[in-house]
Structure 1
Amino acid sequence: MSTEEEKWSHPTAQLIEDDQIPEQRQLKIALVACDTINNLFNAYSNWNTLVRSVAWILRFIKYKKSKVIDSFKFLSVPELKNASLSIIKRVHEEAFHEDIVRINTNK
């Protein structure tokens, strides 16, 4: 690295054709989609417990995005309201998916 860039050696790469690769195998991929939000909803039978768990998850996501640590040990009222609205919004998106798509395409 102490020499100039023009004096660096540039190795040439040789491309190998697909039929020349001796151990070429077919790759099979399985894609599984799971709705973790519905799993979370089904895990709680109590509304308050669900709201609090979603609020903690939203706080964690906020922390991971901003890296700002909230010094509060307890959830605040705005956090609980935001969690409630997030749950309601998610349920509405699932229940009225066709209507939402139809409204958005007409804009």
Structure 2
Amino acid sequence: MADPFDRDRFAATVRHRLGGVSVRQVVDAFPALNVAMITRAKQGRSNLSIGSFLTICKALRLRPLDFYVAGVKRARVTRKTILKQTVTRRVPCETRVGGDVR
């Protein structure tokens, strides 16, 4: 499924904005940021929460909509798609015999 968020471009922009500044210096300058948040943003591999994304954008003076990819179709979640999901059938626990746990 396609993602409307350009993670690679965001990571490249964060790395460019930070330039030669260390992560610790950024955390000292912006108390709302933390080392893990900045590292995830620089790597661009793992998902950031929307709060972290917006905090980084505010601290580095980035526009959040610059990283939105228009025209990407997301899969729609409907009742039909939910009902088509496979569900494991509930069965009694094998360790219970007559209500006693063995």
Higher Rg of the two aligned structures: 1
Hey, which of these two has a bigger chunk of helix by percent?
1
- Does TM, normalized by the shorter one, top 0.5? no
TM-score, normalised with respect to structure 2: 0.24
TM-score, normalised with respect to structure 1: 0.23
Q: Which has the higher contact order (CA 8 A, sep 6+)?
A: 2
